[in-house]
Amino acid sequence: MILSIESSCDDSSIAVTEIKSKKLIFHKKISQDEHSQYGGVVPELASRLHAVTLPKILQETKEYFDKLKAIAVTNEPGLSVTLLEGVMMAKALSLSLDLPLIGVNHLKGHIYSLFIEKNDIFPLTILLVSGGHTQIIEAKNFDEMNLLASTLDDSFGESFDKVAKMLNLGYPGGPIVEKLAKNGDENAVKLPIPLINSKELAFSFSGLKNATRLEIEKEALTKKRVADICASFQSTATKHLLHKLKKVFRERDVKNFAIVGGASANGYLREKIEQLCIKNRAELLLSEIEFCSDNSAMVGRCAVEQYKKGDFTDIENLKVNSKFKEF
């Protein structure tokens, strides 16, 4: 079995995965509500909370210790101070239990959230939408993953968080905005679709966020007005993703398509992407909702592939990286 740790942002999570069967034996995640009052994650606070919750969860995995073959941990990309908490725990476990270490790329982890207790499927074109990243990835197999597009500024999930913050709705903004949007009219507020006249395969959400702010400041925020803003923002942000994805479908042979990352739990986005896939005769792969946002089960599943390849990292060489470099 592999014990996997995830602490790249504000979720403390540990899982145990059986290597041969890929079965998820244990999985627990504690999300930090403490950031809600700040309208976003406070890294130092998140780090201190991981230092309390990770050891608590670890206690519950002791019965599996003698069956472990490796310790896996997310080491990039993410918030450096929170990644460090998981990496320190992984190193301590690796030393005390005399087990090899596997450093897992957080974004590859999200891709493997599709394959919890399942075999992986390739080739695969992926839209990754989270709080930190918005990317289109073309994956031939585990080792050959090519970045086709990324964001020039904010990410898709982050823009939901910022709109929620401007409307004083709390954090994380994604699920709140999605819920309120259900009672709104998506055509009520005119917002500009980002990069609509650009042929570039890239994303941008900061202009849309600013346009939404101007609308928020324009008139009184009645319940109806808030719902209309949420619906119009969600629809415009999704239209932006679809506009760029249509270009990918036009120019490439997409057989299998997937959406992953925290924001891939959005039902409106799922519905629109499903229509796009049907139109283009592509198979759509989705993660179960519980595995969309950051979790250690996806890290463990990804680590199974790395274990099979002997992709281990020495304790001195396992470093934390806040930025995305490559797959």
Least distance from ligand KG4 to the Cβ atom of residue 26, Å: 20
Q: Residue 302 corresponds to which tokens in the numbers above?
A: 């990804």
Least distance from ligand KG4 to the Cβ atom of residue 20, Å: 28
Least distance from ligand KG4 to the Cβ atom of residue 21, Å: 26
Helix (H) or strand (E) holding 275: helix 267-279
Sign of torsion over alpha carbons 187, 190, 191, 195: positive
Choose from ligand KG4, Zn ion, none: what does 265 bind? Cβ within 5-8 Å by kind.
ligand KG4
Identify which of residues 70 and 184 has a Cβ nearer to ligand KG4 in the complex: 184
Identify which of residues 175 and 207 has a Cβ nearer to ligand KG4 in the complex: 175
- Among 281, 241, 296, residue whose Cα is nearest residue 263: 241
Relative to beta strand 124-129, strand 256-260 is parallel
Least distance from Zn ion to the Cβ atom of residue 262, Å: 6
Residues within the interface to ligand KG4 (CB under 6 A)? 9, 130-132, 157-158, 160-161, 172-175, 178, 261-263, 265-266, 293-294
Cite the beta strand spans of the chain per DSSP E: 2-6, 11-17, 24-31, 70-76, 101-105, 124-129, 134-139, 145-149, 256-260, 283-286
Judged by CB under 5 A, does residue 161 bind Zn ion? no
Q: Residue 73 corresponds to which tokens in the numbers above?
A: 């941990």
Among 294, 296, 297, 303, binds Zn ion (CB under 5 A): 294
Identify which of residues 130 and 235 has a Cβ nearer to Zn ion in the complex: 130
Least distance from Zn ion to the Cβ atom of residue 41, Å: 12
Least distance from ligand KG4 to the Cβ atom of residue 265, Å: 4
Identify which of residues 17 and 155 has a Cβ nearer to ligand KG4 in the complex: 155
Choose from Zn ion, ligand KG4, none: what does 249 bind? Cβ within 5-8 Å by kind.
none
Judged by CB under 5 A, does residue 130 bind Zn ion? yes
Classify 144 as helix, strand or coil.
Answer: coil
Judged by CB under 5 A, does residue 264 bind Zn ion? no
Identify which of residues 180 and 263 has a Cβ nearer to Zn ion in the complex: 263
Mutual angle of helices 80-97 and 43-59, in 10-degree steps: 30
Contact present, 64 and 25 (Cβ < 8 Å): yes
Q: How far apart are CA 28 and CA 269, in angstroms?
A: 27
